[in-house]
Every structure is written in C-alpha cells, then in structure tokens.
C-alpha cells in the first residue's frame, strides 16, 4: 500500500512503539493522527511529526475517537498495557483493564473504521501484539491471553477480507522492547537475555508491513522459532520454556 497522503491513525502514540511509529511514518508522506491519553507527550510527538493530536481513552471513547478521526486509510492498533506477577495476586480490576485495552479496544476501533476502508477499496489495519501471545509467558498470563486473542482476531479478519481488494491486515509480534511499558506495568524487565530492542526497530517493521502487505512480522525475526516450535512440538517447547524462562 502506498503511504503518501494516506491518513494513518496511531493509538498509544505518546511514547514507545507508538511514538517511534509516528516518527517513522512522518517521512513517508502520510497524514498522521496521534491518539493517546497523555496530552503533553502527544504534543511533543506532534511537534516532531506534524501529526494531529486526539486525546482520548480507547477503552471508553472508541466511538468518539473514530468520529473525530474521520476516514482513516491505515489504523495502527498499538495502545497497550501490561501487568506482571503471579495470576493469583492480580488485583481486582487489573485483568479487566488489560483485556479492555489490549483486546476489546482494538476490536471496537477496527469495527468502527474498517467499513470505510472496505467502501473505499483501500486500507490497512495493523495490530501490535506480542510474542507473549504466541507462546504464553509465566507471570504474564492475562497479558499473554490478551495478545493471543488479538492474533486470533487478526487471523479471522484476514480470512474475511481475503476477497476484498486493497484492504490488508498485519500483525506484529515484538519481543522485549526498550520502552516505558515495563515501568508502567509495575515490574521492570530484569532478564539478561533476550536484550531489549529499540522501538524504532518495531516501527520500521510496522511501516514495512503496511507497504508490502505482510500478514505477520516477528521482531526480531528469530522469535519466529519458539512460536513455530510451540505449534510443532509443544512438549519439547514446554520443557525448554520451563528451563530457560
């Protein structure tokens, strides 16, 4: 898909992957709308990219966001939250919040904006998922479930749109990314391996997935191996996962 003069809506655009994606798209000729909850951070990203700012909460204001954004050629569903720790210790309401932001909100926003793309015969929907959704991660059970649901939704939607010319669906499965995500979830990343990657690397993959219609992108690419191993040989995969985390 050509991005010059395409209207792109990026959710969770105030920092991390969303902000990096906005910067990556700024050089393509796309017209940007940046959505998020932090007005000051969004303003900084807007100053660097020329994007229009829409302050909102995607969990409660999806309809308002879609209305204010207008017709969108590309939707990047990036907003996300996490929680880490034993599932039995998860505070009341935390699971519901993770599912609302990571799964329900992207589905709702896509439902609102996809009809315009189909009618125009041109569009692309991107879902920023996680390798956690493909393999499941200990102490992040609900987060893993939310991203797994996103993967399944994207796959089903892709099959539905197979006969619709000009409209594509891409899903990104990043590993550990060096963003404020871990601080905000209340548990910093402490493992020595794998090392966190820069959000700009994920942003480049997002732009490439739109341009080339890639259905699925692992970032970094080697993450495809554990995801495939889990499907092909679940027993050995589980033994390795318990040994190495």
Is 189 one of the annotated active-site residues of the chain?
no
Two tokens, residue 244: 């190495």
Give the chain's domains with CATH numbers.
7-244 (3.40.50.720)
pLDDT in tens, 193-245: 778 999 999 999 999 999 999 999 999 999 999 999 999 998 988 888 887 66
Residue 67 to residues 12, 60, 72, 85, 159: CA-CA distances in angstroms?
A: 17, 13, 10, 37, 27
pLDDT tens digits for range 36-81: 999 999 999 999 999 999 999 999 999 999 999 999 999 999 999 9
Residue 192's pLDDT band, with cuts at 50, 70 and 90, is low
Q: What is the DSSP letter of 32?
A: E
140 against 187, higher pLDDT? 140
Give how far Cα 61 sits from Cα of 36, 87, 103, 204, Å: 11, 28, 15, 28
DSSP 54-73: EE--TTT-HHHHHHHH-S-S
Q: Residue 162 in contact with residue 187, Cβ under 8 Å?
A: no
Q: Are 14 and 38 in contact (CB under 8 A)?
A: yes
pLDDT for res 245 = 65
83, 127, 143, 181: the catalytic one is: 143
């Amino acid at each position: 898909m050509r991005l010059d003069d395409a209207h792109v809506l990026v959710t969770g655009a105030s920092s991390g992957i969303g902000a990096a994606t906005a910067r990556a798209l700024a050089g393509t000729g796309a017209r940007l709308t940046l959505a998020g909850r932090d007005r000051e951070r969004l303003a900084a990203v807007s100053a660097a990219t020329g994007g229009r700012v829409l302050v909102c909460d995607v969990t409660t204001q999806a309809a308002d966001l879609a209305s204010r954004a207008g017709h969108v050629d590309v939707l990047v569903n990036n907003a996300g939250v996490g929680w880490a720790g034993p599932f039995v210790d998860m505070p009341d309401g935390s699971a519901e919040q993770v599912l609302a932001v990571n799964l329900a909100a992207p589905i709702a926003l896509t439902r609102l904006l996809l009809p315009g793309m189909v009618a125009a015969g041109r569009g692309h929907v991107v879902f920023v998922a996680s390798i956690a959704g493909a393999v499941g991660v200990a102490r992040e059970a609900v987060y893993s479930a939310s991203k797994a649901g996103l993967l399944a939704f994207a796959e089903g939607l892709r099959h539905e749109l197979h006969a619709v010319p000009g409209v594509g669906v891409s899903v990104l499965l990043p590993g550990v990314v060096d963003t404020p995500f871990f601080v905000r979830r209340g548990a910093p990343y402490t493992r020595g391996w794998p090392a966190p990657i820069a959000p700009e690397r994920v942003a480049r993959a997002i732009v490439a997935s739109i341009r080339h219609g890639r259905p699925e992108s692992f970032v970094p690419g080697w993450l495809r191996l554990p995801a495939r191993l889990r499907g092909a040989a679940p027993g050995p995969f589980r033994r390795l996962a318990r040994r190495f985390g």
